[in-house]
Structure 1
């Protein structure tokens, strides 16, 4: 279900000069992983990763037209913070229309009790972005995810 969207997002944003990623709680590690490890390290893209809690302490001033923003929404106690960020981003006050929300709650796992979703939500996001979206970025940029300029190239 996410596959066509991943391809569309990559076609639209893989060549962007700068992209913001917002996440929190159980998804914070995956937010950093995709932004820093996949896009910065493996794609040489400029990114900014920020928690939903910290977004309103300055970063909101950097949202403007032409800057893609991705909000990764989880299912834990930080969801209300994610919802607050989503409400701000989708109000239209910034003029930025490149707002992308990826909400793990939209991806059902048959047979999984709701009480365990918070535990598996990082895995859901990993499959969606670190696995699928990253591969489409690689295709669009024609930049192999294994290429490095410096990382593991010599002692430092």
Structure 2
């Protein structure tokens, strides 16, 4: 699993960096069922996991960091590969911001990753003087809602 980042050597060759905050309800802690899919994306060089951290928002609103080995993942997973994904790019401020999106009693995985599939495009654009000045995501729920509205109009 390719995780380490040497900023001076890698930055010119990197693809866009994204993050995800994945919330787990209080009664359904992470079970690790998605980790094989994440591993597959890494193995196929689609993404590179830079940081993977877990946090829980307590009832009083405080945040508690969780070690991946303490999350309680089920099955025969080799979590050491994900435990080693720690570049230090995610800091306490990032974790507080991620925690702000959580409901009290819920936990979350915070994933920071490079889109390695886009690295050649990003490198070519940077070399031509272009730079990415905005990006975003459209939530799947918004797409479904729009499609439902369009169906209702027809």
With normalisation by structure 1, the TM-score equals: 0.29
The structure with the greater share of residues assigned to strand is: 2
Name the structure, 1 or 2, with higher relative contact order (CA <8 Å, separation 6+). 2
